Amino acid sequence: MSVHTDQSPAAVTVLGLGPMGRALAAAFLDAGLRTTVWNRTPGRDGDLVARGAVAASSAAEAVAASPLTVVCVVNYDASDAVLRQEDVTTALKGHTLVNLSADTPDRARDTAEWAGRHGIRYLDGAIMTPAPTIGTPDAVFLHSGPEELYREHRPVLAALGGTHTHLGEDTGRAAAYDVALLDIFWTATAGYTHALAVARAEGITGAELAPFAQGIAAILPSHFTELAADTDAGTYSGEVNPITSAASTMAHVVHASEAHGIDASVMRVIEGQARRVIALGHGTDGFTRVAEVIGRS
Ligand code: NDP
């Protein structure tokens, strides 16, 4: 029987008090849970303690205080630095650990393997929305690992608000969704940032461009659905926009940018991917053919 059976199930520990860790702890407090907090650098828990959080003097003391520990630090190098200290690992034995820090699927699987070796019950997770959404209906959490363990802790995790989705028993699955979704977010943000620079060089303000940029964004939801189906089916249809035509428009972006001395290397890479697809004989396909070609050696 695990060591935590005499502890209140409505108790939780949060390790890591950056903007996200603080938001998680605040949501647990708002839900009336006994919340113990710890951060590597002292002094980040002031507001939380004022609201009733218990400040632990060490990470080991923090994890010993609750049957469930949520860790949310910058990445898994950081969570390893905290969790793999001998006294912390020992204190976690028989407890549940949920790692909501972001990193790669392999790091998540490696952490599950480490946890298993030390008798720690482990769930991995990813947070897909910004800190201010935590505790609101807009928050989005992804979870992976043993489903039974997820179900057991689901009521406490629900205090974080929003939508929680268990993606499967493969511990790396939440991180796999996370990196795929971050891929979209950062390339889209980089594209928009670049567009703002090109527009500014042409005397167009951000405010002038933004309504039309919103128009592009409005196309994307149905575009995403269609491209996903096309890629899953392996059809890579170029009926609406063959990649030869797409590559031509990419070249316009490169030339217009470089005429203003603006680095166009990202678009050059994208155009290069399109040209490679054409060179491989898929010129009548759509841009989604890149998804198949990009992994070829
Ligand atoms: P950061 O990603 O900047 O992480 C800060 C936290 O990591 C602090 O608690 C910091 O401690 C700790 N940390 C860093 N290095 C170490 C280390 N070597 N040992 C121990 N602790 C360390 O801030 P956030 O709180 O915003 O993010 C936490 C996680 O949540 C990240 O993985 C992030 O990607 C994810 N996330 C954040 C979102 C947001 O809106 N902020 C949105 C979605 C996900 P110290 O104070 O001592 O430096």
Task: Sketch the domain layout of the chain as residue ranges.
Answer: 11-170, 202-294
CATH 3.40.50.720 fits 11-170, yes or no: yes
- Say how many Å lie between the CA of residue 75 and the centre of ligand 1: 7
Tens of pLDDT, residues 135-178: 999 999 999 999 999 999 999 999 999 999 999 999 999 999 99
Tens of pLDDT, residues 174-232: 999 999 999 999 999 999 999 999 999 999 999 999 999 999 999 999 999 999 999 99
Q: Write down the pTM of the prediction.
A: 0.92
The verdict on the CB of residue 43 being under 6 Å from ligand 1 is no
Rounded to an integer, the average pLDDT of 124-143 is 98
Q: How confident is the model at residue 9 (pLDDT cuts 50, 70, 90)?
A: low
Q: Tell me what pLDDT residue 296 has.
A: 84
- Say how many Å lie between the CA of residue 126 and the centre of ligand 1: 13
Same fold, 11-170 and 202-294: no
Question: Which residues, 6+ apart, have CB-to-CB distance to 297 below 8 Å?
Answer: none
Least confident range of 5-14, 61-70, 250-259, 264-273: 5-14
Domain 202-294 fold is N-(1-d-carboxylethyl)-l-norvaline Dehydrogenase; domain 2 (1.10.1040)
Q: Tell me what pLDDT residue 2 has.
A: 30
Q: Tell me what pLDDT residue 10 has.
A: 86
* Upper half-sphere CA count for residue 285 (Cβ side, 13 Å): 23
Q: How many residues does the chain have?
A: 297
Ligand 1 pocket mutation, candidates 74, 179, 181, criterion most atoms within 8 A of CB: 74
Q: Tell me what pLDDT residue 16 has.
A: 98
Distance of CA 37 to the CA centre of its chain: 23
Closest ligand 1 atom to residue 20 Cα is: 25
The verdict on the CB of residue 95 being under 6 Å from ligand 1 is no
CA-nearest of 285, 289, 290 to 242 is 285
Question: Which residues, 6+ apart, have CB-to-CB distance to 253 below 8 Å?
Answer: 198, 264, 267
Closest ligand 1 atom to residue 132 Cα is: 40
- Say how many Å lie between the CA of residue 19 and the centre of ligand 1: 7
